[in-house]
Amino acid sequence: MKHSPAYRLAATILHGFDEYRSRFKEITADASRRFRDAAWREAQQASAERINLYDEKVEETLDRLKRSFVDEDLTHCECWREGRNHYAELISQRLDYELAETYFNSMFCSIFHHRHIRNDWMFVYSSRDAAAHHSGIERCRRLPVDDKWQEAIRWALVDTPFETPFDNLQRDSRLAAEFLSDHLPAAILDAPDTEIELLKSVFYRNKGAYLVGRIRGGGEQVPLVLPVLHDEGKGLHLDTVLIESDEVSIIFSFTRAYFQVEVQVPGEFVDYLQELMPDKPEGELYATIGFFKHGKTEFFRALNRQVAKREDKFIIAPGVRGMVMAVFVLPSFRTVFKIIKDRFDPSKQMSRENVREKYSLVKRHDRVGRMADTQEFSNFIARKDHFSPECLEELLEVAPSNVQLKGDKVIIKHCYTERMMTPLNIYLEQCDEAETRAVLKDYGNAIKQMAAANIFPGDMLLKNFGVTRHGRVIFYDYDEVCYLTECNFRHIPEPMYPEQELSDEPWYSVGPNDIFPEEFGPFLFADIRLRKLFYELHPELLDADYWKGLQQAILDGRVIDVYPYRNKQRFAGSEENGLVY
């Protein structure tokens, strides 16, 4: 049996998965050392390396299979059926079995080009009932508070394996205790059984280390996140305390880089996080701790369950039609589906390959809480009657090489998915004066924070940004995105004589990478009222020198972090260079 082609297929794939997991764990485990050494550039590189690692290991495993098997075995579905059964048995006692199943699926899809998606030959559904298995491994540490909040916070910070001491632990624990006394529900504050519970693993991302857990007492609970920063030359400090579910959800947003966090039992770890954030989809939580490929698997399963309910049909997304992408939605599923059109608007000088490269760039880059994460699908198949007639007609018209009908099936050769948001231009049509001011302020902040991460969005039109349920402005149209350091920001030269200024054509030369920030206002806002408000809120964005200063900071090697909580929430005394939302 162990010498059969099917068993060797399963064993070869599992060997490749083990290599992937080993390197993944090495990169993740080194996050504590990078935090200790304040190696921020290295942290960015490690994040990108870990994202690229999955596809690299799939390619290596695929090469190994092709060298070891004849084509007939590799493309024979019966071999994969038997191989799946052997593989399920081989991983049955693993703590990361669901990740192993997704790796098997990746190999199957690589061989069959995302066709023949059946549970007989791959893991469309999991091979085991997660609820029936519990590892017994303790994830958390706990301490009864006994009304001694400052001591409890001190324990939370000291009983963590940081290799750098805190600059002023007395100050940090006092500030945190005062915050909790002022903001916790009375039922928790006054309960005799109140305790702090924290995951043993530390969540590292960019310049921050996050302790994550909850406070329980009196039959109630609130989430608890303690963000710790490293001031080079001074030591660690607690930057704030977060206990609101929405605030914690933003920490784990789909718009941010994946955490580097050591996870022994992925499924149980995600279950715990979902107790803190019940509105977060399971797939999104897998992604946020680095398992984005399995996040894609969980997304696909959730989509299939939703489609099967037949509550609604796919429709064209509301809003202005895109020049490069056709966008459709299943309204009940909070997700948009984006297809690259066959022909672009004449103003878009790019190819399909250019667009895919831009989306890949964003996937690997730090999204600083301002760019939506995407999942990429090939040969996405749905029944024809799951689409509204108008939606299907438009998709077939604008992307006939990508969307095809085969009997009662719609086959989409390639698409991206993103979290559904309200387009900013539509949001502005519906909001009041206070909301308008707040969202335009956040729109400008989004542009600044992307720039601080060396990203220039290119097309900054309002329709290319969305507003989340938390009121945050997020960029989601990547076909013109580029590195900020590739841009040439210029002031508009003074005209030599009045006639030049009145001409329809510019009186100055314009290179391919030239950008004139003074033009942003008229270009972005036809509404004079909105334009004036934008000028008031973000005058620096109209100044080429501001952009040049950011470029120079990046070229000088400065890493400007963007913290996922508001500036007013931060404790006084932080000298960390960074931006907040």
Phi, psi of 462 (to 5 degrees): -60, -35
Q: Both tokens of residue 206?
A: 């960019």
Residues 182-210 have a mean pLDDT of 95
Judgement on whether residues 409 and 456 belong to the same structural domain of the protein: no
Judgement on whether residues 514 and 375 belong to the same structural domain of the protein: no
Of 180, 254, 278, 194, nearest to 224 (Cα)? 180
Tell me if 129 is assigned to some domain. Answer: no
In the predicted structure, residue 284 carries a pLDDT above the cut 80 = yes
Pick the range with the lowest mean pLDDT from 238-242, 244-248, 530-534: 244-248
Judgement on whether residues 240 and 353 belong to the same structural domain of the protein: no
Q: Distance of CA 505 to CAs 192, 496, 501, 511, 544, Å?
A: 75, 14, 9, 14, 21
pLDDT at 130: 58
Q: Which of 373, 477, 479, 561 is catalytic?
A: 373
Judgement on whether residues 28 and 84 belong to the same structural domain of the protein: yes
Q: Which residue has the tokens 């329809």?
A: 504
Residues 309-321 have a mean pLDDT of 90
* Single residue among 420, 439, 471 that ends a domain in this structure: 420
* Single residue among 112, 132, 156 that ends a domain in this structure: 112
pLDDT at 132: 54
Pick the range with the lowest mean pLDDT from 107-111, 462-466, 501-505: 501-505
Residue range 328-383, pLDDT digits in tens: 999 999 999 999 999 988 877 788 899 999 999 898 888 888 999 999 998 888 99
Judgement on whether residues 556 and 467 belong to the same structural domain of the protein: yes
pLDDT at 165: 94
Judgement on whether residues 148 and 291 belong to the same structural domain of the protein: yes
Tell me if 459 is assigned to some domain. Answer: yes
Tell me if 117 is assigned to some domain. Answer: no
Cβ–Cβ < 8 Å for 73, 9: yes
Tell me if 134 is assigned to some domain. Answer: no
Residue range 36-88, pLDDT digits in tens: 999 998 998 999 999 999 999 999 999 999 888 876 678 888 899 999 999 99
Judgement on whether residues 362 and 501 belong to the same structural domain of the protein: no
- Total structural domains in the chain? 4
Judgement on whether residues 395 and 439 belong to the same structural domain of the protein: no
Tell me if 250 is assigned to some domain. Answer: yes
Of 279, 268, 276, nearest to 98 (Cα)? 268
State the chain's mean pLDDT as an integer: 90
Neighbours of 169 (CB within 10 A): 17
Instruction: For residue 354, give the 3-state DSSP assignment.
Output: helix
In the predicted structure, residue 175 carries a pLDDT above the cut 60 = yes
* Single residue among 112, 132, 148 that ends a domain in this structure: 112
Q: Which residue has the tokens 């043993």?
A: 200
Judgement on whether residues 404 and 434 belong to the same structural domain of the protein: no
What band does 568 get if pLDDT is binned at 50, 70 and 90?
Answer: confident
Residue range 386-442, pLDDT digits in tens: 999 999 999 999 999 999 999 999 999 999 999 999 999 999 999 999 999 999 999
Residues 524-549 have a mean pLDDT of 95
Binding positions? 317-323, 338
Tell me if 458 is assigned to some domain. Answer: yes
Domain that holds residue 81: 5-112
Active site residue 373: yes
pLDDT at 72: 67
In the predicted structure, residue 507 carries a pLDDT above the cut 70 = no
Residues 307-321 have a mean pLDDT of 90
Judgement on whether residues 166 and 284 belong to the same structural domain of the protein: yes
pLDDT at 278: 92
Judgement on whether residues 222 and 295 belong to the same structural domain of the protein: yes
Tell me if 395 is assigned to some domain. Answer: yes
Judgement on whether residues 411 and 434 belong to the same structural domain of the protein: no
Cβ–Cβ < 8 Å for 221, 276: no
pLDDT at 133: 63
Tell me if 525 is assigned to some domain. Answer: yes
